[in-house]
Structure 1
Amino acid sequence: MVDAVVSVFLDNLLKALSEESRILVEFRDQFEKLQSELLLMQGFLKDADRLKRKEQALHTIMVNLRELIFAAEDILADCQLQSRDNDPFSAGWYMCIYPKKLPFQYQTGKRLKEINKKILEIKKDIRPYFGVSILNQPVQNDLFPRWSSPVYDHTQVVGLEGKRYLIVMDDVWGEDVAWWQRILEGLPKGNGSTVIITSRNEKVVRKMGVKEDKIHWPKCLSRSDSWLLFRKIAFAASGGECTIPELENIGKEIVVKCKGLPLAIKVVDKTYNGTIYNCTIHDMVRDLVLKVAEDDAFYNEKGSSCRHLGIQNDLGPKHLIANQKLRALLSTNKTAEVNKISSSMAKKVHESRYLRVLDVSRSIFEASLSGLGRLSNLEVLLGFRPARSSQLEGCRIGELRNLTKLRTLGLQITRADEIGDNEVNALINLQELQYLSMSCFDSHGSDLITKVDKLFPPQQLHELCLKFYPGKMSPMWLNPISLPFLKFLSISSGDIAEMNERFWGDVNTVWKIEALMLESLSNLGVEWLMVQQVMPSLRVVNVSWCPELGSFPVDDFGFRGGVWKKEEHRS
């Protein structure tokens, strides 16, 4: 988890530093120092994530590191926001007019220095867990009177020179032992040092260079003695006697698999004491997932200090006020259910300024969400319903202009006054937007068609889903010139009967769409051959309940549906 967090942060930091904005330039030294330290640590973080399950102290260190990365991410987001607001002014001119911004610079610099200092401390703290001189630090032999390392760097084996050591290579399986030859070459000889290798494969041991007289085989019990040992431990409560025939058969199968090894029999017996327990795998997996999620600050039942929060009916503003670390607010209920969100809650969502994901697609609001335009870090917004012109509170569609980091957007538009005449360009400049879903379910009034027809998406859109569109003709902007990079198109459950003339492009312009879905369009009367002609890159088409679609090459597709694949219909 920490490794993934660091990787994402480093990618964002590299991108931000390349922008050369004024605010970031002022803190470049601190950000680059942080970047350098994290790059050095990155190679050890995967192993640290694995080891933290066994080492409580290391677990605590990783939690602290994760929190520092999130704090640094918040600072980076604040700097980018300040840059967007202030870059039109020079530094001197800006300071003269807005001296109140000086505290931001002071506090930001101070916080970055503190984070870098703590990162250095963490780097020192994790060093003993790897047993090698890591992260470009000089070897401190006095810190390691014993050498025990789960992570191996053969260039550091020289640290054993002049020392007496015991190395245990436990449970070696792979027959490719080239790695062992590299270790062996670097190990100092003599001084009474010893290497112990354990394996279940004799061939592996011999390949590693162990001589015949040095191979020790464990003494194994006979099948009858193995069963006797098993009974004494597994059925201790009944004096070593198995009183249930079904369990006896199972026990004997287990004994055979233990192959006479006393230790294996004892280990199995400790978990098998003759008592039958009923459990559900689902419950076990759920408990494990909750435990891991809580450890990684992904989720907890109280909703405090977690990064992701599920929307529930009892969710109140206190959950948001007490949790400034929130990254995602999600609809997690079942498809047929909805959540009712109080007006007080709706007014507080915009205060979670570091929010990246907001999913309200299955929620009912007592009052419209307000202030979403302030969530400048938002990358995913699903289920957004713009406020109407008659509503005093709520978020208008025009506020989406400020969400320049949006990658995924789900819109639900039902009335014309949800889109003002000066708001029809609300989406066109969202340069990061890749996925757009627009639903007009339960729409009212024919004037909505005119407004949606003017609501142009950004050109770089990659995927588009259009649902319940009320017009008889497709929107004017649904054409290969306005959407030259569109790869996936889905149109479903609307009144569309024909495509706008622009949809068909011209001699020099065709669609780049690779996947197309047409669903529940009972009035759509276009010819498949024309669609295929303007979409030469099509690889797969899914059609259902489109009986008027002409000459589609799949039997009974009109009502039963069908899938066309290019590789299956090559002429």
Structure 2
Amino acid sequence: MVDAAVGVLLDKLLILLISEGRRFLELDDQFEETKNELRYMQSYLKEADRVTRKDRNEVLKMVMSDLRELVYDVEDIIEDFQLLFLKKHQGCAPNFTSCCSPTLLKSRRQMGKRLRKINQEVRKVKERMIAYVGTTPHLTGKEEGGNRPLTYPILIDEAELVGLEDDTAKIRNWILEANGLPTVIGIVGMAGIGKTTLAQKICDSVNVQESFKHSLIVSVSQSFKLDELLRKMLNKLNVEEKSLRGKDVDELLKKLKQELDEKYLIVLDDIWGTDQGMWWASLKSALPRVRGSCVIVTTRNEEVAKSMGATIRHIHHPRILSDEDSWFLFSKVAFAKNGGNCTNPDLEGLGKEIVVRCGGLPLTIKVVGGMMLGKGYSIHEWRRISKHLKEELASSMKDELVISRLELSYEELPGHLKPCLLCFAMYPEDSEIPFLNMVYRWIGEGFVWGRNGKTAFEIGEECFAELFNRCLIAVGKDTFGRRFGSCRMHDMVRDMVIKIAREESFVSLDGRVGPVFSVQSRRLGILRNTAVESIENSSKLRTLVGMNIASEKIILSVKTKLCELRWLRVLYLSLSTTKIDEDLLAKDWLSGIGSLQHLVYLYIEKTALRKLPDSIGNLRNLQILSLFDCPNLERLPSSITTLEKLTTFHIVSCDSFECMPEGLGNLSNLEQLSWFRSKNSRLKNGYQIPQLKNLTKLRELRMKINYEEQTDEGEWNVLSMLNQLQLLLVDFVGNSPSPGLVRKLDHQLSPLKCLRELWLWNFPGERTPAWLNPTSLPNLQFLTIYWGKINYLGPKFWDCSSRVWKVEVLVLGDLYDLEEEWPRMQRAMPSLRLLKVYRCPKLKSFPFDVSVEGRWRIWRKEEEEEREPMVNQV
């Protein structure tokens, strides 16, 4: 079994050495020798990858450890040489003086020595391979190319049930029949049996939704804090995070009691115990005694449910799935390409053998089904997996069976997905991980990169979709109905990932996130208030992630200065408060950021920084810069406009931010540009819209426009020059606009032929602008209209004489004055499959009650189509 990161990085290095070989010839024949040795490694590792984790011997593990270090060192040398090359030829063609400067000659000699040393070490490792392991590891018969990309989606999610209809009906009746003081209901069962899925399905049912004003589900991790749980609950009740800053537990409890003003349903998911700090007694005191309200508790321990007030009558134990239901669930995943139907009798027989060995657990069935989806219809592969599961069943202890089945799904992953999955080990239990952050992390680590005409982000999105299709992660759609918003990982899958990450020294973590891993790792995660006195192996650290840090002491306790982490690729700093002293953060730590010349991904959240160091312009490899919720940040240094590799630039909820630096158009490689505001933003200036014309690679643009400022006639037409633009968000801000300004905004946009997503926020007019029509936006599939005083959709919106709307998803939110009719909407948008509405009380004839406050109302075309045959039968 190959070290996950080594396999991916080795492939990347060989591609680099082959494609840019001429550059590397400057260092004699050292790079050529390195390339040849790496090819040998690659062949060897492909054979070693056929050895299962159970069959790995200690010598093979040591070989993998040696190879890991060598591959990392080779990558470091190659990237150093690339930086040297850029510095050497910066701004002009190379000449004799620049090529022969003493500094550059010295650097080249040092790199040559490093490469010779690496090549010597590679030869030693190869000799040890042959001497102790043999030229080819013991093979298990695994076919080359057994995994194939999953380019089609699985139409199954956490809320889709199989074989639990009776369970759902029983608990739903308990809920709807409750008429006394808050009732506690327990769902008790082993991990992976479907407790969360059952609770989610119950909450999503129409009868339950209409019976409660408030319904929310929150995960309660094994090592949670009450204040964090309360913040999660309040966020689910649409309380803004900023209004909760600085509040202690007592204040949060009072706020929760205030928000739960009417009948409520609360699901507390995955509770391990109630004795730590008497948290349940405190939380219970904040739950109003509203008649008919309910609390659902999911737990592995019945005594926990009883201690929280669930009676025997109101405790439910989900059963394992029957053979028939197990096969039905497995088929929906494994044969998703054929609509869940198996057309090969031989394959069906093998599939049913595999299903029996999953023990009736929905989690295991879905994950193993996802694994088989990647195998296609190879009888040999299906027979091999069935045999492997049979061997595991015979050799594993009962408590290890689930993990062993899940571990097999990891072994069978394509090599490029393994390190992507192991990155999840760094995040706390029950974390909601933003999709974008994870893809950016993979790009920063070098696990995904642009190739075959696709950008690195597109490749990362495909990897994310594959992990979802294989049922290894659960994906939540974002607020506006797009496919990916955030993701999370089932506890059992996470346990498996942590186990493998430990074995491969993939990441080091503080005790609050998980086990403390080997200091040989090049990745370190710090969470909350756990101090890290020093960073072991700091000179080789590649990723440093600090999440929810609550004190400057945590940062300063890391005695290693940032400038010493010269190989760092990813720096992710998220504080839990903006009260950390700015000087301590900026002068004592971030001041060294300019030394991180290998940095690819920089994320900074909730800091008191007023500015970033000018030295940020030294980050020649920086591709992704994300600044979130930094309320004091006013300006960015002009040196940012020299970051020629920057592809992603986000500035979100930075209240004091005034304007983008001049020279924005110099960032010609930008693919994503976002500039959100908060409600209290003091932004004065826009994007310097004319400069956008130079950003020809831009695919996503989120922009804020102050309509009080004058813009030149036709200035917005620059956007029509961005031929790759697929997503546009325009957020208008300002005081009461004049009629002249509204007329100007009404027409200032030329057709955007490639645009697929449009988000229109706070448009100042009483009707939608004239350019919002199917002719100007011929390929639009996703449309969101949010906030503002729009009372009707403009005449151009309905003009379908020459072209009809292709919109599939429509979101309308906080449009209190909007008056439109549903039948007209359906006629204008025949492709519409999803409609989401929030606080639009004047809509007419819509398929749900629009007067319901504080809750999204959702219509799905497929649900309507499923109901129609039933009506016809009646």
TM-score bin (small chain): 0.5 to 0.7
Q: Which residue of 2 aligns with 1:31?
A: 31
Compare 74-83 and 379-388 and name the one that shifted more: 379-388
Q: Which residue of 2 aligns with 1:106?
A: 109
Separation in structure 2 between the aligned mates of residue 129 and residue 365 of structure 1, nearest angstrom: 55
CA contact (8 A) 2:763 2:787 kept: yes
Compare 311-320 and 533-542 and name the one that shifted more: 311-320
CA contact (8 A) 2:632 2:655 kept: no
Deviation, structure 1 residue 322: 4.7
Bigger relative CO (Cα 8 Å, ≥ 6 apart): 2
CA contact (8 A) 1:339 1:362 kept: no
2:758 aligned counterpart, secondary structure: strand
Separation in structure 1 between the aligned mates of residue 743 and residue 118 of structure 2, nearest angstrom: 59
Instruction: Encode CA deviations 1:171-203: one digit per residue, 9 max, x unaligned.
Output: xxxxxxxxxxxxxxxxxxxxxxxxxxxxxx9x9
1:466 aligned counterpart, secondary structure: strand
Specify the structure having the higher radius of gyration (Cα).
1
Question: Residues 433, 47 of structure 1: CA spacing in aligned structure 2 closer, same or farther, 3 A cutoff?
Answer: farther
Q: Which residue of 1 aligns with 2:121?
A: 118
Q: Which residue of 1 aligns with 2:85?
A: 83
Question: Residues 385, 14 of structure 1: CA spacing in aligned structure 2 closer, same or farther, 3 A cutoff?
Answer: farther
Matches of residues 221-370 of structure 1 in structure 2 within 5 Å?
A: 268=397, 281=492, 284=495, 287-288=498-499, 291=502, 293-294=506-507, 297-299=522-524, 302=532, 303-305=535-537, 306-311=541-546, 312=549, 313=551, 314-316=554-556, 318-332=560-574, 342-343=585-586, 344-365=588-609, 368-370=612-614
Question: Residues 127, 63 of structure 1: CA spacing in aligned structure 2 closer, same or farther, 3 A cutoff?
Answer: same
Q: Which residue of 2 aligns with 1:491?
A: 730
Deviation, structure 1 residue 558: 5.3
Q: Which residue of 2 aligns with 1:252?
A: none
Deviation, structure 1 residue 15: 4.8
Separation in structure 1 between the aligned mates of residue 725 and residue 567 of structure 2, nearest angstrom: 35
Instruction: Encode CA deviations 1:482-535: one digit per residue, 9 max, x unaligned.
Output: 422111112346449677588532xxx643111222345465743477442222
Separation in structure 1 between the aligned mates of residue 567 and residue 77 of structure 2, nearest angstrom: 12
Matches of residues 352-501 of structure 1 in structure 2 within 5 Å?
A: 352-365=596-609, 368-383=612-627, 396=637, 398-411=638-651, 424-425=662-663, 427-441=664-678, 442-444=680-682, 446=684, 448-449=685-686, 452-453=688-689, 455-456=691-692, 458-467=695-704, 469-472=705-708, 476=715, 479-492=718-731, 494-495=733-734
Separation in structure 2 between the aligned mates of residue 346 and residue 435 of structure 1, nearest angstrom: 25
Question: Residues 340, 132 of structure 1: CA spacing in aligned structure 2 closer, same or farther, 3 A cutoff?
Answer: same
Q: Which residue of 2 aligns with 1:169?
A: none
Q: Which residue of 2 aligns with 1:93?
A: 97
Q: Which residue of 1 aligns with 2:814?
A: 559
Deviation, structure 1 residue 152: 7.8
Unaligned residue ranges in structure 1 (runs of 5+): 134-146, 155-200, 205-260, 273-279
1:550 and 2:793 aligned: yes
Instruction: Encode CA deviations 1:351-381: one digit per residue, 9 max, x unaligned.
Output: 2221111001333327633410111111111
Aligned sequence identity (%)? 20
Deviation, structure 1 residue 430: 2.4
Instruction: Encode CA deviations 1:399-451: one digit per residue, 9 max, x unaligned.
Output: 123322112111367678755xxx522x32323321111234444364x24x6
CA contact (8 A) 1:386 1:395 kept: no
Instruction: Encode CA deviations 1:101-158: one digit per residue, 9 max, x unaligned.
Output: 221110111112222332333334345687545xxxxxxxxxxxxx94446899xxxx
Question: Residues 514, 78 of structure 1: CA spacing in aligned structure 2 closer, same or farther, 3 A cutoff?
Answer: same
Separation in structure 1 between the aligned mates of residue 579 and residue 49 of structure 2, nearest angstrom: 37
1:4 and 2:27 aligned: no
The residue type paired with residue 45 of structure 1 is L
Question: Residues 364, 310 of structure 1: CA spacing in aligned structure 2 closer, same or farther, 3 A cutoff?
Answer: farther
2:80 aligned counterpart, secondary structure: helix
Deviation, structure 1 residue 329: 0.7
Separation in structure 2 between the aligned mates of residue 269 and residue 569 of structure 1, nearest angstrom: 49
Instruction: Encode CA deviations 1:276-332: one digit per residue, 9 max, x unaligned.
Output: xxxx75984685376364265333565544422123442237252453332111135
Q: Which residue of 1 aligns with 2:831?
A: 568
The residue type paired with residue 568 of structure 1 is S
CA contact (8 A) 1:132 1:153 kept: no
CA contact (8 A) 1:547 1:558 kept: no
CA contact (8 A) 2:569 2:598 kept: yes
1:315 aligned counterpart, secondary structure: helix
Separation in structure 2 between the aligned mates of residue 435 and residue 374 of structure 1, nearest angstrom: 21
Q: Which residue of 1 aligns with 2:292?
A: none
Deviation, structure 1 residue 541: 1.7
1:363 aligned counterpart, secondary structure: coil
CA contact (8 A) 1:339 1:363 kept: yes
| Equivalent of residue 512 in structure 1, options 732, 750, 754 | 754
Separation in structure 2 between the aligned mates of residue 41 and residue 382 of structure 1, nearest angstrom: 37
Q: Which residue of 2 aligns with 1:541?
A: 783
Separation in structure 2 between the aligned mates of residue 358 and residue 58 of structure 1, nearest angstrom: 36
CA contact (8 A) 2:759 2:785 kept: yes
Separation in structure 2 between the aligned mates of residue 417 and residue 555 of structure 1, nearest angstrom: 32
Question: TM-score, structure 2 length as denominator?
Answer: 0.42
Unaligned residue ranges in structure 2 (runs of 5+): 145-346, 351-389, 402-490, 508-517, 527-531, 799-808, 834-874
Matches of residues 111-190 of structure 1 in structure 2 within 5 Å?
A: 111-127=114-130, 131-132=134-135, 148-150=138-140
1:532 aligned counterpart, secondary structure: coil
CA contact (8 A) 2:568 2:598 kept: yes
The residue type paired with residue 543 of structure 2 is H
1:364 aligned counterpart, secondary structure: coil
Question: Residues 94, 281 of structure 1: CA spacing in aligned structure 2 closer, same or farther, 3 A cutoff?
Answer: closer
1:359 aligned counterpart, secondary structure: strand
CA contact (8 A) 1:360 1:382 kept: yes
Deviation, structure 1 residue 268: 4.3
CA contact (8 A) 2:727 2:758 kept: yes
Instruction: Encode CA deviations 1:241-282: one digit per residue, 9 max, x unaligned.
Output: xxxxxxxxxxxxxxxxxxxx9x9789647989xxxxxxx759
Separation in structure 1 between the aligned mates of residue 769 and residue 732 of structure 2, nearest angstrom: 19
CA contact (8 A) 2:783 2:810 kept: no
Separation in structure 1 between the aligned mates of residue 83 and residue 811 of structure 2, nearest angstrom: 55
2:706 aligned counterpart, secondary structure: coil
Question: Residues 401, 61 of structure 1: CA spacing in aligned structure 2 closer, same or farther, 3 A cutoff?
Answer: farther
Question: Residues 494, 2 of structure 1: CA spacing in aligned structure 2 closer, same or farther, 3 A cutoff?
Answer: farther
The residue type paired with residue 45 of structure 2 is L
Question: TM-score, structure 1 length as denominator?
Answer: 0.61
Deviation, structure 1 residue 38: 2.4
Compare 496-505 and 58-67 and name the one that shifted more: 496-505
